[in-house]
């Protein structure tokens, strides 16, 4: 492949750019990842040109065969990319010319690199959105398996990282499933909005050739062509929306990772991470470090950084295309790669972790976690206003603290010293198992409700 000059500039420039200009102008170092999408777009465009009588069938056939040869070379690793040819588009076109000669020059009829890169990038981001949804569903299935096994395992629920009320391990994990479902929904919504074809917008104003944009949109799996040619070549909302969805998903993964880090400590001991997802210390032989979880927790910085970077690139650009937009791809590639890695690692960690139910239950029984159950009983059994019941319960908690015991360990006489109408029935609500079993409201932590949630999600993900 010749790399001596870039002929697309024609006679406008007497000489090529110097080394610095070549370095800042070239994007082939990263946009080579668009090769399959670029070739798919070119094949659809060439077929349409032939169908419309704009190029001959024989030229279209030569272009199609040449492009398939180039795709094979790229997939096999034998294709030679050239920085002098700037980008994936010109690298492919130059090689096509070497392979088939003059017909290659007809491929760019009724097309600009502006709509070409817009369609390539949309196709790539659409694929990344699909991949993210698939990975999220895989993680949800791994969580469901653990939640089903732990539907009745009692653990403490927290607010402010303080023991609040007993919940079940399965219920806590199902919260993760719901969070991830919204993430998948965001990617699906973004995909639906980005599924319009820019191809045929040309440089910015459309073309005078009798092209069929509906045909190329259909060939590439788009729902429709974009309605405005200026918008088609200058829009990068689809990339920003993908990054937004990726950022929120990474936030959720980071929160999940933080819980795994906490739960796997000696102080909590709620779960044990497998050796596959832990590392040792170079100096402390007793250590099992949750490095995979910690690295997932850190990925949010890179992903949200990509979102901020691209938002900053786009914020001041007038319509239509500006070279600034060449800086869009690295950010999206980076975020997509990091999100895919984080989802895969989290799926592996969740699938391999071992819950420690005894430690979870012991922790749930501490910290007066059934105080709300006691207050609720006072309302139901003694018809106290909740605020008065709250006040009585507070006195009972203080009494238990003074005695160095938990609420179920107080005697009936102790309780009646605070409120004389309390009966022995109160003890039926104070055990942690009784507490979780009573939370039968929709979305509650009762094992029966948790199993309903699990069954629903298993059906949805089947």
Query: Residues for the chain: how many in total?
Result: 462
Among 139, 145, 89, which residue's Cα sits nearest to residue 326? 89
Which letter, b or e, does each residue of 386-405 get, where b requires 16 or more Cβ atoms within 10 Å of its Cβ?
eeebbebbeebbebbeeeee
CA-CA distance, 79 to 190, in Å (whole number)?
A: 33
Quick one: tokens of 13?
A: 């420039």
Quick one: tokens of 275?
A: 């050796």
- List the alpha helices (DSSP H) in 317-410: 329-352, 357-364, 371-382, 386-403
Q: Which residues are catalytic?
A: 160, 281
DSSP 232-256: HHH--HHHHHHHHHHHHHHHHHHHH
CA-CA distance, 6 to 86, in Å (whole number)?
A: 8
Question: What single DSSP character describes residue 159?
Answer: E
Cα 170–173–280 angle (5° rounding)? 110
Phi and psi of 93, rounded to 5°? -65, -40
Using CB atoms within 10 A of its CB, is residue 286 exposed (0-12), middle (13-18) or buried (19+)?
A: exposed
CA-CA distance, 412 to 426, in Å (whole number)?
A: 9
Sorted by sequence, the CB contacts under 8 Å of residue 303 that are 6+ apart come out as 243, 246, 247, 250, 334, 335, 338, 339
CA-CA distance, 361 to 436, in Å (whole number)?
A: 12
CA-CA distance, 266 to 126, in Å (whole number)?
A: 43
DSSP 330-351: HHHHHHHHHHHHHHHHHHHHHH
């Amino acid at each position: 492949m010749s790399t001596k000059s870039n002929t697309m500039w024609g006679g406008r420039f007497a000489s090529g750019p110097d080394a610095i200009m070549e370095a800042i102008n070239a994007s082939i170092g990263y946009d080579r990842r668009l090769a399959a999408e670029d070739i798919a777009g070119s094949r659809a465009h060439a077929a349409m040109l032939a169908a419309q009588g704009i190029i001959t069938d024989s030229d279209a056939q030569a272009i199609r065969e040449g492009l398939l040869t180039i795709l094979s070379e790229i997939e096999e690793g034998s294709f030679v990319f050239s920085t002098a040819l700037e980008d994936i588009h010109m690298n492919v076109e130059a090689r096509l010319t070497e392979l088939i000669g003059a017909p290659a020059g007809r491929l760019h009829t009724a097309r600009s690199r502006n709509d070409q890169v817009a369609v390539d990038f949309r196709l790539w981001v659409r694929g990344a959105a699909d991949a993210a949804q698939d990975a999220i569903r895989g993680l949800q299935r791994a969580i469901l398996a653990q939640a089903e096994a732990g539907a009745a395992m009692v653990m403490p629920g927290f607010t402010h990282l303080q023991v609040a009320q007993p919940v079940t391990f399965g219920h806590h994990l199902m919260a993760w499933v719901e969070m991830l479902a919204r993430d998948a929904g965001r990617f699906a919504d973004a995909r639906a909005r980005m599924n319009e074809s820019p191809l045929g917008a040309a440089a910015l104003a459309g073309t005078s050739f009798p092209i069929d944009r509906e045909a190329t949109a259909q060939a590439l799996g788009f729902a429709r062509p974009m309605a405005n040619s200026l918008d088609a070549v200058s829009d990068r909302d689809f990339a920003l929306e993908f990054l937004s969805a990726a950022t929120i998903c990474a936030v959720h993964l980071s929160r999940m990772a933080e819980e795994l880090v906490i739960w796997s400590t000696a102080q909590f001991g709620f779960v044990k991470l497998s050796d596959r997802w832990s590392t040792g210390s170079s100096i402390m032989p007793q250590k099992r470090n949750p490095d995979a979880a910690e690295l997932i927790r850190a990925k949010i910085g890179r992903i949200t950084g990509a979102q901020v970077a691209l938002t900053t690139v786009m914020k001041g650009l007038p319509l239509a295309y500006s070279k600034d937009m060449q800086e869009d791809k690295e950010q999206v590639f980076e975020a997509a790669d990091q999100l895919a890695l984080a989802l895969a690692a989290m799926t592996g960690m969740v699938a391999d972790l071992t819950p420690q139910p005894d430690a979870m239950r012991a922790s749930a029984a501490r910290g007066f976690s059934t105080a709300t159950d006691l207050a609720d009983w006072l309302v139901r059994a003694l018809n106290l206003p909740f605020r008065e019941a709250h006040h009585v319960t507070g006195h009972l908690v203080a009494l238990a603290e003074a005695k160095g015991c938990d609420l179920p360990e107080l005697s009936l006489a102790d309780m009646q010293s605070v409120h004389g109408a309390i009966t022995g029935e109160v003890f039926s609500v104070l055990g942690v198992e009784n507490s979780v079993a009573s939370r039968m409201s929709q979305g509650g932590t009762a094992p029966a409700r948790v199993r309903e949630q699990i069954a629903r999600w298993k059906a949805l993900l089947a």
